[in-house]
Amino acid sequence: MSKTNTGNIRTEYIKIYSSFLKRIVKLDFYLPAVMTDHIPNSVLLINDGQDLVKMPFEKILNSLYEEDVIKPLLCCGIHAGPERKQEYGTSSTPDYKGRGAKAPLYTRFIIDELLPKIKSRYGHYYLSDHGFAGFSLGGLSALDIAWNHPEIFSKVGVFSGSLWWRSVNQHDPAYRDEQHRIMHQIIRNSEKKPNLKFFFQCGQLDETEDRNGNGIIDSIDDTLDLIRELEAKGYLRNKDIHYLELENGRHDVETWALAFPYFLKWGWKKEKEKKAVS
């Protein structure tokens, strides 16, 4: 284990062995410089934790703490492994190429290994609500795990999410958006999870694909369609769901670095104390 201290936060780097994934998982913890056992600290898991280093995430957190605009957060960046496309995805079914076959094992790692590890390591602090976020395929994974475990997670952040994840190739004549996008079907066929809130981010330059020819790139279409599925369940836009679309946003770490402060302020905004009137 190694530690560093930067301004308002401290960072701890550890590795743990996962019996489910049969590999060592690298974890980067970003914590407030000062934590206590009487102030609530939210827990935020982040897939593709290796991308946080490139942002750099420490600078983002430092700035937000300096501005005093977010509540204390214990963030855990989970580095992806060499089988990322197998471990991320939807746990109920792989996509049409068989990708995501190890997503159920990744879910078990999160629920049965990582969260207990966080509790044993930092449980002497006051740990409160849990969130989960991710980028691209990692965003799909975060959404799937949070949706299936609302007893644990209350917020989810999906940045340029791979919500196209489908059970039939889009070039197959039988393919239909309304039938074959897996995450959309999961939500449509599930009961509402009343404790969950959702943050979605897309960039207008995320990609160039436009499979239905409507002039809107697929990543935006897929995200807006998923939001409609959530709204059909009774979730409300701007209350339970926040959507951020960046005009010059691309499918890259620089864009997600720009979007992440919006997510953190959306989910963990620190309310200013009202001054007493004499």
Does residue 207 lie in a domain region? yes
Task: Kindly report the average pLDDT of the chain as a whole number.
Answer: 94
What was the pLDDT predicted at 41?
A: 87
Does residue 274 lie in a domain region? no
What was the pLDDT predicted at 273?
A: 60
223/210: higher pLDDT: 223
What was the pLDDT predicted at 3?
A: 61
What was the pLDDT predicted at 278?
A: 46
**Whole-model pTM over 0.75:** yes
What was the pLDDT predicted at 123?
A: 83
Question: Which residues fall within 8 angstroms of residue 47, CB to CB, at 6 or more apart?
Answer: 78, 80, 88, 132, 133, 134, 135, 138, 139, 141, 142
- Tens of pLDDT, residue by residue over 134-175, are 999 999 999 999 999 999 999 999 999 999 999 999 999 999
Structural domain including 91 reads: 2-268
Least confident of 58-72, 98-112, 221-235, 262-276: 262-276
Highest mean pLDDT among 37-41, 226-230, 269-273: 226-230
Does residue 275 lie in a domain region? no
With b for 16 or more beta-carbon neighbours within 10 A and e for fewer, the 235-265 pattern comes to beeeebbbebebeebebbbebbbbbbbebbe
Residue 105 scores a pLDDT above 80: yes
- Whichever domain contains 120, its CATH number is 3.40.50.1820
Does residue 78 lie in a domain region? yes
- Tens of pLDDT, residue by residue over 153-164, are 999 999 999 999
Q: Pairing relation of β-strands 197-205 and 153-159?
A: parallel
Residue 34 scores a pLDDT above 90: no
At 5, the pLDDT band (50, 70, 90 cuts) reads low
Q: How far apart are CA 98 and CA 106, in angstroms?
A: 15
At 274, the pLDDT band (50, 70, 90 cuts) reads low
Does residue 56 lie in a domain region? yes
Residue 216 scores a pLDDT above 70: yes
Question: Which residues fall within 8 angstroms of residue 203, CB to CB, at 6 or more apart?
Answer: 160, 219, 245, 246, 248, 249, 250, 251, 255
Does residue 97 lie in a domain region? yes
Does residue 75 lie in a domain region? yes
Average confidence (pLDDT) over 199-216: 95
Alpha-helix residue ranges (DSSP H) falling in the chain: 50-54, 57-67, 84-87, 103-108, 115-122, 137-148, 177-180, 182-188, 218-232, 253-268
Q: Please check whether residue 61 is in contact with residue 46, taking contact to mean a CB–CB distance below 8 angstroms.
A: no
Q: How far apart are CA 47 and CA 252, in angstroms?
A: 14
- Tens of pLDDT, residue by residue over 237-263, are 999 999 999 999 999 999 999 999 999
At 33, the pLDDT band (50, 70, 90 cuts) reads confident
Number of domains in the chain: 1
Question: Which of 165, 166, 244, 258 lies closest to 198 in space, CA to CA?
Answer: 244
Q: Kindly state the DSSP code that residue 93 receives in the 8-state scheme.
A: -
With b for 16 or more beta-carbon neighbours within 10 A and e for fewer, the 47-81 pattern comes to bbbebbeebebbebbbebbeeebbbbbbbbbbbbb
Does residue 278 lie in a domain region? no
